[in-house]
Amino acid sequence: MFIRSLSLRDFRSWAHCELELSPGRTVFLGSNGNGKTNLLEAVGYLATLASHRVAADAPLIRLGAAQARIGATVVNAGRELRIDVELNQGAANRAQLNRSPVRRTREVLGILQTVLFAPEDLALVRGDPSERRRFMDELCTTRRPRLAGVRADYDRVLRQRSALLKTAGRQARSRADLSTLDVWDGHLATHAGELLAERLRLVHELHPHVAQAYRSIAPESRAAAIGYRSGYLPAEFLDPARPPGPEDPAELKQVVLRELAAARPRELDRGVCLVGPHRDDLELILGAAPAKGFASHGESWSFALALRLGAFELLRESGTEPVLLLDDVFAELDRRRRAALAAVAAGAEQVLITAAVPEDVPPELESVPLRVETSGAEDHRSSHIGAATAGPIVG
């Protein structure tokens, strides 16, 4: 899989950009603030419909513009597809596939697959559980795009149920309130069962790849392992030695329903939903201790890198090689970790790299260097990408 062309309009600092790409390795060179990361962020957005830097879409639209547009032509196994996404201020986003509108933007998911390495990855180990849940869910959705609808439905039902819990908790808990809550319990459990089945399957299949990647990066360190952490699922679902196989969403739904019933008095008292995948975590273990709070800075970086390398190998295993996005990450890594990442990048079909100076890129990654420069007033930027040794590529 590779990106043949990328186009941006009013995305972040880019008023306009048309860029032709090819398989192999491309390095975007430029000082901080010139829009290098914005290019990789745009590619990542087309793959996941989310930014790795911000939670909302509004900051992605250039200051003063009403909308931003991102488009790419993607080649997968000889088949060429065009994706276009339009981000709108105060209105729903829209998308096109091969220049034809789609009903929901999530219908373009799966066309482009990427794995992104960025300085923010350290939050996968040291950050809140929400960072690790997002990692799991985005990887699940990359593998099975239909899960995007399940995630959206689960979030919608969770908001509705949480609002009802707050209302019922303040009032006399009428029979009508509790009856309505029963209905929402059923909806929540249905979507939770599907989401949990995908997450459990993912963790089981990802574990050996992460363990192997960590061994290659830090052979002198303690062994790394991952697991699924949940306060309501029975132990047999969380047992890493459990035989592999598809988890049953219907069985998981019944578990969630049972736990929701048991937790209802506490939920009504507190006005929050205490059961469901929104409370779970990806457990990261070094030796016999959790990585968070016990891992050194170097071990934390190694684990974060192992998670991304494991994701890359898992996607490769499915038969589609994702585009690698390396956002100024080599500057954050020591010699051994740089070498481990470079070894993977050297064999990938397409790698897009950002760096401030050429010295930040390992010499074994022979690549096409493109300089990224931004000039003009801060509120009316004109951006430019040019080849280091050839004529300009229009920006």
Share of the chain above pLDDT 90, in %: 68
> In this predicted model, what pLDDT tens digit does every residue of 351-361 receive, in sequence order?
999 998 888 88
CATH number belonging to domain 1-113+321-379: 3.40.50.300
CB 281 within 8 A of CB 229: yes
pLDDT greater than 70 at residue 377: no
At residue 141, the pLDDT reads 96
Q: Is the dihedral of CA 217, 220, 226, 229 positive or negative?
A: negative
Q: At which residue do the structure tokens 């969380």 appear?
A: 238
32 annotated to a ligand binding site:
yes
Confidence of residue 219 (pLDDT cuts 50, 70, 90): confident
Question: What confidence tier does 347 reach under pLDDT thresholds 50, 70, 90?
Answer: confident
Q: What is the pTM of this model?
A: 0.89
pLDDT of residue 224: 94
Q: Are 140 and 202 in contact (CB under 8 A)?
A: yes
pLDDT in tens, 108-142: 999 999 999 998 999 999 999 999 999 999 999 99
For residues 288 and 281, give the distance between their C-alpha atoms in angstroms, rounded to a whole number.
17
User: Tell me, what amino acid is at 357?
Assistant: V
What would the mean pLDDT of 163-167 be, rounded to a whole number? 88
CB 52 within 8 A of CB 118: yes
The answer on whether 253 is annotated among ligand-binding residues is: no
Is 174 among the annotated ligand-binding positions? Answer: no
Q: What is the pLDDT of residue 274?
A: 96
Res 378: pLDDT: 40
d(CA 119, CA 328): 7
Average pLDDT over residues 362-371: 79
Arithmetic mean of pLDDT, 285-299: 92
Confidence of residue 196 (pLDDT cuts 50, 70, 90): very high
Band of pLDDT at residue 373, cut at 50, 70 and 90: low
Instruction: Please report, rounded to a whole number, the percentage of residues in the chain having pLDDT higher than 70.
Output: 90
The domain spans of the chain are: 1-113+321-379
Binding residue per annotation — 30?
yes
Q: Is the pLDDT of residue 390 over 80?
A: no
- pLDDT at residue 58 is higher than 80: yes
Q: Mean pLDDT lowest for which of 58-67, 160-169, 274-283, 300-309?
A: 160-169
276 annotated to a ligand binding site: no
Residue 38, annotated ligand binder?
A: no
The arithmetic mean of pLDDT across residues 93-106, rounded, is 96
Q: How far is the C-alpha of 83 from the C-alpha of 98, rounded, in Å?
A: 6
Q: Is the pLDDT of residue 194 over 90?
A: yes
The predicted pLDDT at position 51 comes to 95
pLDDT-derived band of residue 368, with 50, 70 and 90 as boundaries?
confident
* Token digits of residue 94: 């829209």
- CB crowding 65-79: b at 16 or more within 10 Å, else e: eebbbbbbbbbeeee
Residue 394 has pLDDT above 60, yes or no: no
Model pLDDT, residue 220? 86
Q: Which of 97-101, 137-141, 176-180 has the lowest mean pLDDT?
A: 176-180
Mean pLDDT of the chain: 88
Mean pLDDT, residues 315-336 taken together = 89
